[in-house]
Structure 1
C-alpha cells in the first residue's frame, strides 16, 4: 500500500516544447567546439588517410560533421587550386599600368585577402526576406574575374590614348607608357557603380535569366574570354613579356624582355624564354599523367614551382621584389584614388552581365557535384543568392582595392576528387587565402616569377577557360538557329581577336565638343574592340529576336516517323485479331 506522504509524479506538459534559450544554444556551440578540438574523433575521425583500402572515401555533404584535419587539408587543396587564378589578374594589371614592385605586391595580397573574405560570404546562405537569400549555401568560392582583364586592357588603352594616363614616344617611335595608378582607381570606381546591375538582376526570376542567357550565349562569351586572354597575355608572356618589349624595339627601356634592367634580358621570343615556358607547361602535363589526386589539383602550382627552380638556377630571377615586399600586410596599406571613367561604364556593365552568366553555370555545376537538387525553388534560391553575392562582392571588392570577382569553377573538380562538399572545408580555404595574403613576402615571390614561366602556366589556365566555354556550348542541341547565332557572334569575336584595331578608329573622324557624346563613342569603341563583349552582345540580341520555328524538313521527318509508328501499331492490331479468330475456330 502506498504511503499517504507519497506524491504523484508531475505530468509532462502536452504543449509545444519551449525553444532553447540563446544561452543554451551558446553552451551547446561551445561544447561542440571543445569536443572538436580536444578529442581524437574531432581531429581525425574515422577517415582512411593512408588509403589502406582501395575504396571510395566517404562523401561529406554540406553540413556533415567534418574532422578538423580533413577540413584543413581539403581547404588547403581548394586554396592552392585557386592561387594561380588569384595572383594572375593583379600581376597583369600592374604590368599594363607600369606600376612599381611595391604596389604590384600589394595588389596581389589584396586579391588573396579580399577573395578569402568574400568567398566566406558567398558560401553562406543568409535569409533576407521571402524567397531571397544572400549566398549559395554551397562550397562556392569567388576569385578575381578573368573577364575583367580584356575589358580593362581596352579601358587602359583608351586612357593612354586620350591623355588620362601619361605616355611618351620612344626613339623608335614606340609609345612608352608611364605609371598610372589612377587608371586602376577608375576601374575600381566604375566597377563599384556597375555592381548594382548584378544586385538588381539577382531579384529577377532565375528562369528569366536563363531565358536571356542560354548556353549558346554563355558558352560563346566564356570561349571568347579564354581565347582573348591566351592571345593578349598568355602567349605574349610566354615569349618574354606582354609589355612593349613584344614589339621588339631597336632601343629604349623595352629593347629587351621583360626590360633592360631584368637579371637576364633577351629579345622577345628568344629560345630561352620559350624553353622556360614550355618547361612549366609540360610539368602540368606530367603531373596530370602521373601525379596523385592532390598533386593534380595543384598542377598549376607545380608548373610554377618547377619553372621557378630552373629559372632561378639559370639566373632569370631576382630577389629585389622579395626584398622590397613587407613581411606582413593587409588591405588598404596602399590606396588608389577612386573615380569613374564614363567611357568604361557600358563595357563594365557588360562584364557584370557576363559574370552573372558565369555564376549561373558554375553554381549549377557546384550543386551537381555536391549532390544537391538542380531544379525547384531551393535551387532557384541558390542561383538568386549566388548572383546577389557576386554583385555585392563586386561592390565590396572595389572598396578592398580588388577588381570584380566571379564564382570560380575549378573548385568543383576538387570537390569531385576529394568527395568533400562540406562548407567547413570551404571556410578553411578562406582562412588559408587570407593567411597567404597577409604574408607580404609571398606576394614578392610571385612577382619574381619570370614572365615566360608565368606565360607557360597562364596559357594553359586561360585555355581551360576557353575549354569551359566549349563544354557549355556542347550542352546545346546545335539546331540551325543555334549555329546561326554562334556563327554571327564568332564573326565579331574572332574578328576582333585576330585584328584588334578593326573598330578602334570607328569614330575617329567624328568631331564633337559634347563630352557625354564622346564618352558614348568611346564606350561603343571599347565594347566593339573587346572580343567577348562584342560576341556576347551579338549572341544575346540574336537569341532574343530570331524565331524558334522548327525547320520544315525536321517537321516532315517527325510526321513521317509518326505515320510509320501508326502503321506498325495498326498492323500489330490486325494480326492480333486474326490470331484470336483462328484460335476460336480451332477450339470449336
Structure 2
C-alpha cells in the first residue's frame, strides 16, 4: 500500500489542478483566438507608439508589430507550458508591457534611439532576472486584503482603455466618439450579455469571440470595417535579429528601465496572484518566482527580434474569469496563434481590421469582470476591529489617481513618475505598505483605531452556518459535539497568508 500511494499521487496530481484541464484541439484554438482578440489592440499599441516616436517608416513599424506578436507568443508558451525554473504554468497571456512606453519614448526622443532602448531592456531584464526570487518571497505579504485590492484596481485601471476603444481608439479621427462607434460598441456589449445568458455552455464560454465576430460582420455591412488592405505586404516574414540596430548600453537609459522592470515585476506578480485566485489554484513563492523569471527571460530575448519588455496581460485575466475556461493549454494555443501572426503578417492584418469599437464593447465586460473578481476576493476579508477597510480605501484611491488625473505626476522626479504613473503598481505598493504597517507591525495599534473601522466586534453567525447545525449540537473544548455526545468532524478552512 505504501509503495502504491506515491505512484497514485504522482499520476493524479496534474488532473487535480484546474489549470491542467485538457480540452479538444478545436476548442483550445477557438478559446485561444478569443484571448488573442482581447489583447491584440494592446500588444500592437506599444510598437506603434514607440515606432512613431522614433520616426520609423511604416514598413519598419510593421516589423516592430510582427516582432511584438512573435515574441509575445513565445513568452506565452514559456509562461503556460513552462520549463524547469521558468514559467508559472498558469493561463496567462504575455505581451509587450504598456508600463514601459513612457520611458522608452523618453529614451528615443532623448537622442538614444531604438538601439539605446534595446540595450536598456536587455540590461534591466538581466537585473530583473536576478531579483525575481526576492519578489517571490514576499507572497506572504499578499493576503486577500492586498490581492483583492490589486485585482480590483487592475480592472478599474483598464476601463479607460475599453472606453477609448469604444469611441474608436484614435482621438484624432473625425469619428472619434461618434454615435456609429458607440452604437457598434453597444451592440457588441449587448451580444456578449445575450450570448452569455441564452447560449449553451460552449456558446456562453465563447460569447466574447462570437460577439466580436458578429460585431465585425455588422461593421462590414454598414461600411465601418475595411479589409481591402489585408492583401498588402508580405504573406510570410520572419523577424530578423537586430534588424533595427545593434543594442547600445547607456547608463541613464538602463537605470530608468530598471525602475520599469520593478514595476513590471510587481504587476506580473499581481496578475499571477489574480489568475490563481480566479481559477482556484495554489500560487506559492516557488511558482511566482518561476513566472517572474519567465517574464524577465522573455524581456531579455525580446530586443534581439526588435521587441520590448514583456509582462502578463491583465485583460486576459478578465477573459479567464468571464469564460470560466481555466486550462493553461487554451492560452498556450493563443500563444501559438500569436507566433503565427508574427510569422504571417497577413493574418495580423486580418485581426487588425477588426474595428476598435468592437473591441471596446467586449472590453467593458472583460475589464469589469476583473474588478468584480477583486471585489469577490475583498468580500473574504475580515473588517471588524482592524484597519483593513482603511487599507482597501486608501490603496484603491491612490491607484485611481493616475487614471483620473494622468498628468498628476508630471512634475515629480522621472523615477517617481515611472513607478506611480501605473495605477496598478501604485495600488499594489500602497496596499503592501499599509498591510505591513497595520497588520504586521502592530506596535501602537489600539483596539478601534478609526471611526471608519467597520463592525463593533459583535459576534455574528450566518444563516448558512446555522443550517449546518442540528438540534442539540454544542461546542466544547474546541470540538463540535452532537446531541448524542459524538464528536462531529470539523473541516477547517485554509489559513490566509495574512496569518
- Per the normalisation by structure 2, the TM-score is 0.71
Q: In the alignment, what sits opposite 2:403?
A: 497
Alignment of 1:337-348 (within 5 A): 337=245, 338=247, 341=253, 342-348=255-261
1:91 is the counterpart of 2:19: no
In structure 2, which of residues 142, 147, 150 is the aligned counterpart of residue 221 of structure 1? 150
Measure the CA separation in 1 of the matches of 2:131 and 2:34.
29
Asked if residue 134 in structure 1 is aligned to residue 134 in structure 2, the reply is: no
Q: Is the 8 A contact 1:241 1:452 kept in 2?
A: yes
Distance 2:60 2:215 in 1: 24
Higher mean displacement: 192-201 or 275-284: 192-201
CA distance in structure 1 between the partners assigned to 2:379 and 2:116 by the alignment = 38
Q: Which residue of 1 aligns with 2:168?
A: 240
CA 1:316/1:364 → structure 2, altered by over 3 Å: closer, same or farther?
closer
The answer as to whether partners of 1:191 and 1:398 remain within 8 angstroms in 2 is yes
Aligned position for 1:476 = 381
* Matching residue of 2:265: 352
> How far apart are the structure 2 equivalents of 1:316 and 1:186?
40
Query: Aligned in 2, Cα 1:197/1:227: closer, same or farther, shift over 3 Å?
Result: farther
Following TM superposition, by how much is the alpha carbon of 1:275 offset from its aligned partner in structure 2, in angstroms? 0.9
Equivalent of 2:94, from 140, 143, 156?
143
Task: Spell out, residue by residue over 1:375-411, the C-alpha distance to the aligned partner (whole angstroms, 9 max, x if none).
Answer: 8xxx654344333323323323444415413275367
- State how far apart, in whole Å, the 1-side matches of 2:429 and 2:21 are: 45
CA apart distance, 1:417: 5.1
- Per-residue CA deviations over 1:48-92 (Å, capped at 9, x if unaligned) read xxxxxxxxxxx96679x999xx54124213412321244122332
Per-residue deviation, 1:197: 5.4
* Partner of residue 483, structure 2: none
Distance in 2, matches of 1:355 and 1:81, equals 21
Query: Is 1:123–1:139's contact at 8 Å kept on the other side of the alignment?
Result: yes
Partner secondary structure for residue 94 of structure 2: strand
Trace 1:510-529 onto structure 2 (pairs within 5 A): 521-529=413-421
Structure 2 CA distance for aligned equivalents of residues 85 and 189 of structure 1: 30
Which residue in the other structure is 2:77 paired with? 120
Query: Is contact 2:266–2:428 with CA below 8 Å preserved after alignment?
Result: no
State the SS of the aligned residue for 1:322: coil
The aligned counterpart of 2:9 is none
**Bigger Rg over Cα:** 1
Distance in 2 (CA, whole Å) between partners of 1:361 and 1:75 is 22
1:276 maps onto 2:184 in alignment: yes
Instruction: Give runs of aligned pairs for residues 3-82 of structure 1, distance below 5 A.
Output: 71-82=24-35
Q: Residues 441-469 of structure 1, C-alpha deviation per residue, up to 9 Å, x if partnerless? A: 11112222333233323333333333343
Alignment of 1:319 onto 2:227: yes
2:427 to 526, 530, 535: 535
Contact 2:321 2:370 in 1 (8 A): no
Q: 1:125 to 1:327 in 2, by over 3 A?
A: closer
- Map 1:197-216 onto structure 2 (within 5 A): 198-204=128-134, 206=136, 208-216=137-145
2:316 aligned with 1:447: no
Q: Does 1:404 align with 2:310?
A: yes
* Whole-angstrom distance in 2 between the partners of 1:312 and 1:88: 19
How far residue 414 of structure 1 moved from its aligned partner, in angstroms, is 9.2
SS in 2 for 1:464: helix
Residue 505 of structure 1: SS of its match in structure 2? coil
Q: Structure 1: any 5+ residue segments left out of the alignment?
A: 1-58, 128-132, 166-180, 246-256, 258-265, 369-373, 507-520, 562-567, 571-588
CA spacing shift, 1:278–1:124, aligned 2, 3 Å: closer
Normalising by structure 1, we get a TM-score of 0.61
Equivalences, count? 430
CA distance in 2, matches of 1:186, 1:558: 61
Is the CA contact (8 Å cut-off) linking 1:101 and 1:447 kept in structure 2?
no
Question: Is the Cα–Cα contact under 8 Å of residues 206 and 323 in structure 2 kept in the other structure?
Answer: no
State the 1:101 CA deviation.
5.7
More displaced stretch, 101-110 vs 478-487: 101-110
Equivalent pair of 1:238/1:451 in contact (CA under 8 Å): yes
1:164 aligns with 2:93: no
Name the counterpart of 1:332: 240
Aligned partners of 1:465, 1:334: CA distance in 2, in Å? 37
1:348-497 correspondence to structure 2 within 5 Å:
348-363=261-276, 368=281, 374=282, 381-400=286-305, 401-406=307-312, 409=317, 421=327, 430-478=335-383, 480-497=386-403
SS at match of 2:110: coil
C-alpha contact 1:221 1:532 (8 A) present in aligned 2: yes
3-state SS of the aligned residue for 1:315? coil
- Gaps of at least 5 residues in structure 2 are 1-13, 462-474, 478-499
Q: Which secondary structure does the structure 1 equivalent of 2:291 belong to?
A: helix
Work out the CA distance in 1 between the residues paired with 2:328 and 2:44.
Answer: 32
Compute the displacement of 1:278 (Å).
1.3
2:207 to 285, 296, 299: 299
Q: Which moved more, 1:426-435 or 1:73-82?
A: 426-435
Residues 556 and 164 of structure 1, relative CA distance in 2, 3 Å threshold: closer
Q: 1:281 to 1:558 in 2, by over 3 A?
A: closer
